Amino acid sequence: MMETQLLVRKCRGHFAASASELRPAPSVSEAGITMIEVLVTLVIVSVGLFGAAAMVINGLESNRNAFLRTQASILAYDMADRIRSNGDQLVTSYVGFSFDSKTEEAAEIPACFTSEAGCGPADLAAADLAQWAGALEGADGGVVLLPAARGAIADAGGGDVSITVSWTDSQWDDDEEEFSDQDKTFVLRFNL
């Protein structure tokens, strides 16, 4: 074995009397990492992780807000399509309708809606409004699309119709340092 070590030392181009001479003495910079370096690294990594967590939370809140606004637009466009299909009843049945899911319950759908005879224009408008109020209330399948939803249909003048869908959203208030309710609104204005 000693012969093998001598042969290896010869191949490297130098001779050493012992194995300790083969290893260079560690310098001060090679002594290892200090506790201060470890703590600084931990602080930097934790600040980065907190920043990433804040970005994820903000992203989730933005997605939720976008979801609620999308639900409001779907409800408004749904009612607009119902009004367009039964436009003769605009002034007599649709305009002036309002519904608040916090204080009201959706009306019953007229029986003619499910009968073979079908509904006349006024009963069809009543069915449209009952179904729309049910959707605002969350009665369609038990899923509440918008929290504390409200809907209104108004004559916007000049032949335009305005459909307003509002809801209450709970958001963090930095000034008060607590969650507070904020009203959000989506308004669709269209012309028959």
pLDDT in tens, 39-54: 999 999 999 999 999 9
Nearest residue to 163 via CA among 120, 133, 126:
133
Could you give the CA distance from residue 57 to residue 70 in angstroms, rounded to a whole number? 20
pLDDT in tens, 107-149: 898 888 888 888 899 999 999 999 999 899 876 555 667 888 9
Check residue 152 and give its pLDDT.
Answer: 96
DSSP helix/strand/coil, 116 = coil
Statement: residue 188 has pLDDT above 60: yes
pLDDT tier, 159 (very low <50, low <70, confident <90, very high otherwise): confident
Quote the number of domains for the chain: 1
Is residue 25, in this structure, part of any structural domain at all? Answer: no
Is residue 70, in this structure, part of any structural domain at all? Answer: yes
Could you give the CA distance from residue 89 to residue 2 in angstroms, rounded to a whole number? 108
Could you give the CA distance from residue 15 to residue 4 in angstroms, rounded to a whole number? 13
Is residue 95, in this structure, part of any structural domain at all? Answer: yes
Is residue 8, in this structure, part of any structural domain at all? Answer: no
Statement: residue 92 has pLDDT above 80: yes
Is residue 113, in this structure, part of any structural domain at all? Answer: yes
What count of other Cβ atoms lies within 10 Å of the Cβ of residue 12?
A: 10
Is residue 2, in this structure, part of any structural domain at all? Answer: no
pTM as predicted: 0.71
Q: Is 100 in contact with 150 (CB distance < 8 Å)?
A: yes
- Residue 178's domain comprises 35-191
N residues, the chain: 192
Is residue 30, in this structure, part of any structural domain at all? Answer: no
Is residue 161, in this structure, part of any structural domain at all? Answer: yes
